[in-house]
Amino acid sequence: MQLHCSVFIATSLDGFIARPDGSIDWLESASSGTDGEDFGCKAFMDSVDALIMGRNTFEKVLSFPDWPYGDKPVVVLSSSLETRPDSVPDSVTLTSGSPQQIVERLMSEGMESFYVDGGVTIQRFLRAGLIDELTITLIPVLLGSGIPLFGPLDSDISLELVSSESFPCGFVQNKYRVVESSRADEPQ
């Protein structure tokens, strides 16, 4: 099996995924003028076996009017949540552990392609050398502060631009392939 971990996320032009309080009102406002464009989201979701997200992202998704992932397996990383809310499908599981442990467990269940979501979770998977691809949609707004997409790294991660697409609404979507990043299971 071939492991593949991808990020598909939107950021403000200054690199934030949410306001300091976790609000994404700026993204919802910007998206209101996109005429139903999904920016490749459905095709991306169809390409992954499961989602791996952090607790904060999960709690944000729970505030949406509808569960957006259907019965796609969703793994929520949390050491504090003990039970899955009744309002979400049985395909949602709670777990804790290192990125490597989580991926190994999911691969043992026959999955190999993962959508990694949430700032801290993405940062942990990047530091573990597990992210292969990043699709980042830049939203033309400056927030000045907030929750950053990227955080401290142990070493540089080299990226190669695979594609870049601009949309009439002003969004710019860049897709990068990780060229050089040491996997957690490889000698450093």
- Encode pLDDT of 71-96 as tens digits: 999 999 988 888 888 888 999 999 99
**For residue 173, what pLDDT band results from cuts at 50, 70 and 90?**
very high
- Tell whether 188 is covered by a domain: no
Q: Is residue 131 part of a domain?
A: yes
Are 113 and 52 spatial neighbours (Cβ–Cβ below 8 Å)? no
**The pLDDT value given to residue 185:** 44
Segment 44-72 shows an average pLDDT of 92
Task: Assess whether pLDDT exceeds 60 at residue 182.
Answer: no
* Residue 1 in this model has a pLDDT that exceeds 70: no
The per-residue pLDDT for range 132-158, each reduced to its tens digit, is 999 999 999 999 999 999 988 888 899
pLDDT tens, 11-55?
999 999 999 999 999 998 888 877 778 898 999 999 999 999 999
Q: Which pLDDT value is given to residue 114?
A: 97
**3-state secondary structure string, 95-136?**
ECCCHHHHHHHHHHCCCCEEEEECHHHHHHHHHCCCCCEEEE
In a domain, 139, yes or no: yes
Whether pLDDT at 186 is above 50: no
Q: Is the distance from CB of 102 to CB of 125 less than 8 angstroms?
A: no
**9 domain residue, yes or no:** yes
Whether 30 maps to a domain, the answer reads: yes
Q: Which two tokens stand for residue 34?
A: 């996109």
Helices 55-62 and 119-127, axial angle in degrees (round to 10): 150
Q: Which residues of 65-79 are buried (b: 16+ CB within 10 A; e: fewer)?
A: eeeebeebbbbbbee
Hey, what amino acid is at 144?
G
Whether 44 maps to a domain, the answer reads yes
What pLDDT band is residue 128 in, cutting at 50, 70 and 90? very high
Other beta carbons less than 10 A from residue 110's beta carbon: 8
The CATH number covering residue 114 comes to: 3.40.430.10
Task: Give the pLDDT of residue 80.
Answer: 86
Q: What percent of the chain has pLDDT over 70?
A: 95
CA dist 168 and 151 (Å) reads 30
Q: How many domains does the chain have?
A: 1
Q: Is residue 186 part of a domain?
A: no
Residue with tokens 């971990």: 5
Name the pTM for this structure: 0.89
Q: Which domain holds residue 47?
A: 4-180
* 69 in a structural domain: yes
- Give mean pLDDT, residues 87-113: 93
